[in-house]
Amino acid sequence: MTKSYDSSLTADKDKVRFLSGDTGATEDDMTLEDEEIEWVISTEANVWRAAAECIDNIIQKEQKDGLEELEVGETRVRYKKLEDLKLKSDRLRIRGSAHMFPSAGGVYQADSDALNANTAVRQPAIRIDMDTPESIAHTKAT
């Protein structure tokens, strides 16, 4: 497992690290492994949504490992880092949603043609062109 960051931002992994703020001079300064980021990229629609998911993972690790509040004597310090990260995650998720295109399910024309040409598959009794003169003549002949 490795942790790396290239500020030229040529790889999606580096873009996600930049957007999520998980950059650093050394591996110890970074939270997520490169392989974890690559997996998140493969499951999300774009780098903004991947960065939001990575931030959520960072928050989970920080909550488990880190302090949220420190009290020494009469002085109490509350860290807002996790709250700020959650807001950043929400903003990135919204931005990522704006870059997604709606799609409707369906069948590609090539798949439909291949299915229609396959004689081993039982063809439907109703077809789009069944009322054309060529189709009627073909139906009566068989």
Per-residue pLDDT averaged across 49-61, rounded? 90
Q: Is the pLDDT of residue 80 over 80?
A: no
Q: What span, in angstroms and rounded, lies between the C-alpha atoms of 45 and 95?
A: 12
Write down the pLDDT at residue 136: 57
The model's pTM is 0.60
| pLDDT above 70 coverage of the chain, percent | 75
Q: What's the rounded mean pLDDT across residues 7-13?
A: 95
- Match 């960051």 to its residue by tokens: 5
Q: What is the mean pLDDT of residues 38-65?
A: 88
Query: What pLDDT score does 61 carry?
Result: 81
Q: Tens digits of per-residue pLDDT, 93-133?
A: 888 888 777 766 677 788 878 887 888 877 777 767 666 66
- Contacts for 3-6: CB closer than 8 Å, 24+ residues apart: 3/27, 3/30, 3/32, 3/33, 3/34, 4/34, 5/30
The whole-number pLDDT of residue 29 equals: 87
Q: Which amino acid is at 56?
A: D
